[in-house]
Structure formats: C-alpha cells, structure tokens
Structure 1
C-alpha cells in the first residue's frame, strides 16, 4: 500500500468515528441519493476492515513467535542427531573391530580345557581374568551400539516431526500475511473514494476527538497526582522507545527500522534485559497487572477490549507508541485510545531513587494518536 494512502487511512478512521457520533445514522457528506456512501456507512466499513486487519496481524505475530521457537527446536534436534550419528558410527567401528578379533582368536577348545591343558595353571587363571575383562568390554560395546541405534532412530523421528511442524507454521504464516495485506488493500480502495476536503476536515476532527478523550480521562482522577519513578530496567526500556520516535509503523515489524505496537514494547524491554511476550494480547495475559493510579514510566498500557494495542507509559499522562500503518512512533496522550488496563514487566524491581525523564525529540507529539485496533 502506498504511504500516502496509509496516511489517509490513519486520518480517516478516527475522524469518521467522531462524525458518526455527532451525525444521525442516515446522514453523511451526501444524502446518498446519488449513490455516494454516507459517513456512517464509510465508518462501518472502515471499522470492520481495521478490526479484521487487527485480528489477522495479531494472529500473524503469534505465529511468527511460534515459528521462531520451532526453528530453534528443529536446529537443536538436527545438532543432536548429527552427534548421535557420529557416536553410532564410532560404536559400529568398535563393534566391527571386536568381531574381527573374535573371529581371529576362535578355537574349538573351551576355556575349561585350556585351563586343564595349560603348563602353568595359575598363569591360565590370570589370562582368564583378562579374557573376562575383554568379554565385558565387548558386551559394553554392543550395548552402546544398540543404545546408539535406538537414540539415533528416536532423534531422527523427532527431527522429521519438528521439520514438518516448521513447514506447517511457515505455510500458516504466509496465509496470514496474505490475509493482512488483503485487509489493508481493501482499506486502500475504500479510502481512495474520499476527497481532499473530507480528509482535511477529518484530520481536524481526529485531533479534537483525541483532546476531548484525554481531558475526560485526566479529569476522572484515574491517574495518581504523585509522580512515580521507574525501575532501572523500566527507565532503559523507555529511553529505547523514545529513541525510536519518528520511525514508521509496519505491521509485524520488530525493528530496528520500523515497528508495530507490540514489536516496539517487546524490543524496548528486551533492550532493558527482560524478555516479554511478543504480542499485545500475550503481554496483557501473562504480565502482572497494575492499577492505573500506580503507573510508573516503563509500564505498558493496553488498549481495546481484546487487548489489541499497547504502548509504554512515559509519565505525566502520556505514552510512547507505534500507532498504526502510515503513522510513525510518537508521544501520545494516554487516553487517545480506549484503555483496557496496564501491566508491569518487572513487578519485583525497586524504583530508582532519582529520575530524569528522557529528552523528547522535536515534533515527538506530531501526527495521529489513535491505534484503531492495529497491532
């Protein structure tokens, strides 16, 4: 999709939401008599398409995480199988050598007759001990050979299964990639019908809608009026996120040149030394919940009922986020999107005794804030 149309997509959806809230359902930029879609109809279609794209993206990200783990498992099994085959080769060589030695020393006389006929029976007894030790070593070699064959066979079966699973995940991932691009292509076609005048008006409405949402949230007292310091890791994760401001959103991306929203949060905390789940839904499900009035910089703020968007809390009622396709990483009001809750990647770590917030780059707060359920 072209960058221009993606930027149009970013602008159109939120503003259409505001128009729909203030316009009767049967109203729009046209009366519909000439076949032009009403604003309400455009809004319905855009929200549906973005929800579908969001779900496909979240599924894609989860599959990507599974595929990464599966590739590592397949590689581990391949290495173990190679070692088992090398050990099996050594065992077979040793067994062959023993077989040749046994054949060359074969005699029709039993060890008992050897003892009776020996000129020095005590020396024969000593030789018997040696022969016994050799026999035990031969038995151990045979056991190693048998065990090595079983281990190699089992590893070969597991390696084949791991490879089959990897191929199935890769195929699934490709289908999901096609689905996301298909959803975004549908958005492109729909937005191509909007005029320049509509887009200009929608940009202003979008900014006004974000401002009103933030004012209402801050007036509610949901955030504590007492500033809190981050942990050392939280501070590092936040600084990493701020350093990415201005880079583009790209679905499925984990940096360093572009990110989606959960790609930004997971990479920021990875840079701080803490591994967290890749997707916003898993971050919400698996990390420790924290009340909004206990938020500290570096915590993750999760949005929408299905936990399909996430940002890093900056402090003072603001977050750092990768909003949606066509937008760039930026600083946004915390309530620009509907808040589901917050989670903390390092719940047991103590806050820093002193803290200086990171310096924001120029124009860090420019651009659209709404995530529109894009992950």
Structure 2
C-alpha cells in the first residue's frame, strides 16, 4: 500500500471516536463532580490495561480480523496504547523542561556563591596578614593596658570591639559562603543527573510511541478496501449514535456564555483550525491535543497544566450538564485526550497524527468528564462566538501515521 493510500486509509477508516467505556473511578487527588450520564460505545476495555512504556516488550504481529467489529476493537486498542504512550512522553518532556530550567538556575546561583566565596577568602587573607603582623585586637589591648590615659584607653576599647566584631563577621561569611557553595555544587550535580535520566526516559517513550503507531499502520495495511469502507461506516454510526444520545439526554440543553478568559481561549483555538497535529507540539505552527488546550488558556492569561492527564487531575471538575464554552472535555479512561468546548455540542480539538485541528462533535470520543480552568470567572452577559472557517469540520477525527511520531 502506498504512503498516499495509507494516509487516505487512515483518514477514512478511523473517522470517529475510538470508543472505550469511560472509567468509573476517578483520581483521589480531586473531588469528582456530580455524575452525569453520558453515552459511550460498548467495546473492549482491554485497551486501558496496557502499560504505555512496556506494551512493546513483546508486540504481537497484527493480523487481519475476521469481521469489522473485531477489527474496530483491535484498532481502538492500538490507538489507546499509542495515546497513552504519547501523554506519558509529553509529561516527561514537561518534567525535563522544568529540570533544565532548575539546573540553569542552580548553576547561576553556584557562580554567584563561588564569587562570594572568593571575596570572603580575600577578606580572610587580609585578616591573617594582620594577625601575622601583630595588628590584631589582642596586641591593641596590650597597648591599652599600658596606656597612661585610662579614659582614652576606654574609648579606644570600644573601637577595638567593633573591629573584632567585624573580623568575626568576616570569618562567619567565609564559612557560610563555603557551605552554600558546597550545597549548590551538590544540587547542580543532582540536577544534571536528573536531566540525564529524564532524557533517557523520554527517548524510551518516544520509541514506544513510534512503535505503537507502526503497529497501527501495519494493521491497516492488511485491510481490503471493502473492510475499510465497512469500518468507516461502523465508526460513523457509533459516533452519531453517541452524539444523538448525549443531546437527547438533555445534558447540553442549557445555553451558557463563557467568561472573558474562556472567550479568549475559544478565539485562540478557532484561529488554529487547519494546523497539523504533531506529537508534543505547542504551536504556533502545529499542536497535539493538550498542547492546543494549554496554549489556548495561556493566551487567555491563565496558564494550566501541560498534559491532558494533569489537566484532569488538577483542574476543578464540572458535570457535562453544566458545561460552558471554554471548559475542557476529557476523553478515555486514562484521561489521554482533551478538547476545548465551544458550545452547541461542539469542541475544537487536535485529534491525533494524520489529522489537523478541527471542530468535532462533543461525543466524537468516549467521554470521561470535564474540567473548568476558570472556576472563579464571571460569565459574560452577552457573547457571540467567532465565525468558524468553512473547512472547520473537514477531515476525520482520527488518523495515524508513524511519520508524525516525536523526533
């Protein structure tokens, strides 16, 4: 199968959400919102059990399934593994960025501490020379004891006490500077060691992502055009059913305006429509799913966690029935995908490799829940959403390509 046909296959075959039943348990680090029934497709949940970093230890050679339903489950499983590996990679990349900044800060402090230590050593050297030459407070006291004028001797004794205190302070500064320099040197070595470990982990996770995507491509290459057409139809039916069920439940019946910052985040996200998905990208020319949502809210003046899993873990949760534009919608049992809600049952998302930033139905992927970056924000009295580009909904919500794996 040619590369062009493969990309077409990816876009056609995976045109909808990769449905896995939502997880019922939520992390203990945050209070869950009031549960809201949301639709999901009934499929195999084994995808959620695969470890992102070890699943490639003994990969099975993919074979063509006997029927479309089995094929769909297999593709969804492969996607779940790749998506989880991707978010793990993103989390490590973020930690590496933080450790690198920390290492630079420690190195700068160490440079200053060494300069202060050299200055203190200079003062200590002068003190040693004075002691050697007999110009210490002890020799001065001997002179005072032999002085003929006691009052003058008393006045000079106060001066000598101040001199002695100053010299004691010099010794203390030298000792403190040496201790600080030693501590910072140890911290610098530790920071460099952490950088090396994180870089090695990141490389391993990058290779995991590449391998997962290659498995998907290999599986797709075994399919006939008839299987592809059946697969696309089955997935489309599933997404339409999930979206219709969500709308019929009344969960999206309320119309709410965003806050000022929420509106700014929506404007930013809409302006990115049409830009390609790239693993780990945070703009301006390309994005991954959480790169888009984190940058949208950063542009609105409210920084949020970088990855979808940390967004789900750290931000306040809201019921789907209470969604307002600007909220983040989290997908899949392990919170491995995220999109920005823009109202009317729609989200802006960077789906996955092989696709571009686009507008999709809210239920295009299996829902886990929603979070609100600005719980303290005041909704606008009136709001008009920016016009969507004509091609805002063009392209599939799915697509895979090993070429889009991280460098």
Q: Distance in 2 between matches of 1:57 and 1:331?
A: 22
Q: Distance in 2 between matches of 1:304 and 1:121?
A: 89
Q: Deviations along 1:140-173, whole A, 9 cap, x unmatched? A: 1011101110111111111111111111111111
Q: Is 2:354–2:399's contact at 8 Å kept on the other side of the alignment?
A: no
Q: Is 1:60–1:173's contact at 8 Å kept on the other side of the alignment?
A: yes
SS of aligned partner of 2:280: coil
SS of aligned partner of 1:359: coil
Deviates more, 1:207-216 or 1:83-92: 207-216
Runs of 4+ deviating beyond 6 Å: 15-18
Q: Is 1:10–1:325's contact at 8 Å kept on the other side of the alignment?
A: no
Q: Distance in 2 between matches of 1:116 and 1:286?
A: 72
Match of 2:116 in 1: 87
Q: Is 2:291–2:306's contact at 8 Å kept on the other side of the alignment?
A: yes
Q: Deviations along 1:322-370, whole A, 9 cap, x unmatched? A: 1111111111111111222211100111111110111111110111125
Name stretches of at least 5 consecutive residues in structure 2 with no aligned partner: 20-40, 43-62
Q: Is 1:301–1:341's contact at 8 Å kept on the other side of the alignment?
A: yes
Q: Distance in 2 between matches of 1:243 and 1:116?
A: 86
Q: Deviations along 1:266-322, whole A, 9 cap, x unmatched? A: 110011011111111221121111122221111111112222211111111111111
Question: Does 2:376 correspond to 1:348?
Answer: yes
Aligned pair partner of 1:218 in 242, 247, 270: 247
Q: Distance in 2 between matches of 1:63 and 1:77?
A: 21
Match of 1:27 in 2: none
Q: Is 1:276–1:345's contact at 8 Å kept on the other side of the alignment?
A: yes
Shift of 1:127: 3.2
Q: Which aligned pairs between 1:314-325 and structure 2 lie closer than 5 A?
A: 314-325=342-353
Match of 1:32 in 2: none
Q: Which aligned pairs between 1:1-375 and structure 2 lie closer than 5 A?
A: 5-13=6-14, 37-39=65-67, 40-105=69-134, 111=140, 113-224=142-253, 226-370=254-398
Name stretches of at least 5 consecutive residues in structure 1 with no aligned partner: 23-34
- After superposition, the Cα gap between the structure-2 partners of 1:103 and 1:319, relative to the gap in structure 1 and judged at 3 Å, is same
Q: Is 2:16–2:397's contact at 8 Å kept on the other side of the alignment?
A: no
Q: Distance in 1 between matches of 2:343 and 2:153?
A: 89
Q: Distance in 1 between matches of 2:16 and 2:150?
A: 106
TM-score, normalised to structure 1's length? 0.87
Deviates more, 1:200-209 or 1:49-58: 200-209
Q: Which has the higher helix share?
A: 1
- After superposition, the Cα gap between the structure-2 partners of 1:15 and 1:87, relative to the gap in structure 1 and judged at 3 Å, is closer
**Equivalences, count:** 358
